[in-house]
Amino acid sequence: MSAARNIFLIGPMGSGKTAVGRQIARLLRVPFLDSDREIETRTGADIPLIFEREGEAGFRKREREAIAELSARSGVVLATGGGAVLDAENRRLLAERGWVVYLETSVAQQAERAGRSNHLPLLMGADPRRRLEELMRIREPLYREIADFIATTTRRRVNPVAERIVQAYRASTALP
């Protein structure tokens, strides 16, 4: 990976950003970062607690600060939260500072993966499938707006997805 070139992963919850991002980082031998984990480390609280105490607006402010700092690093793979694209400044920074990959997945796949987690505050107290459909209607155009590459993860294994992204990344930067 060139010193200044980053890979930023965007997409909905359950699309595999963390798992795929870790594998891309292994393949390229660069650091892997996760904006949600960084927020939890900085606050000493998990995301649901931050949402409970500060609301979505408070979380989004923290997310904006984390993405501004993490995206300024060089030679990293960064997985962002599913809603990071809602903020215009986040979209600008991600598009300007790296190669953006949209991990596209079906609502059914998201619901299946999200159903195994109690760590998703935007799904609490809601019909998960209906809520995921609502979120996708808002977010999908934003994911597509800044994506340099789109990789489908529905019913796909992590390693082949990561290898395909690395291959496309190398082709886009003319790296061996």
More confident residue, 125 or 153: 153
Residue 18 lies in a domain: yes
pLDDT in tens, 43-62: 999 998 998 899 989 999 99
Distance, CA of 20 to CA of 18 (rounded, Å): 6
Residue 83 lies in a domain: yes
pTM of the predicted model as reported, rounded to 2 decimal places: 0.90
Residue 140 lies in a domain: yes
More confident residue, 115 or 76: 76
Residue 102 lies in a domain: yes
Domain with 27 in it: what CATH number?
3.40.50.300
Q: How many domains does the chain have?
A: 1
User: In angstroms, how far is CA 76 from the centroid of its own chain?
Assistant: 13
pLDDT in tens, 119-148: 555 555 567 788 889 989 999 999 999 999
Residue 176 lies in a domain: no
Residue 104 has a pLDDT of 95
Residue 87 lies in a domain: yes
Residue 2 lies in a domain: no
Torsion sign (Cα): 151, 155, 161, 164: negative
Computed over every residue of the chain, the mean pLDDT equals 89
Looking at residues 103-115, what average pLDDT do you find? 82
The 3-state DSSP class for residue 150 equals strand
Residue 112 has a pLDDT of 78
Residue 101 lies in a domain: yes
Give the domain extent around 38.
7-171
5 pLDDT tier (thresholds 50, 70, 90): confident
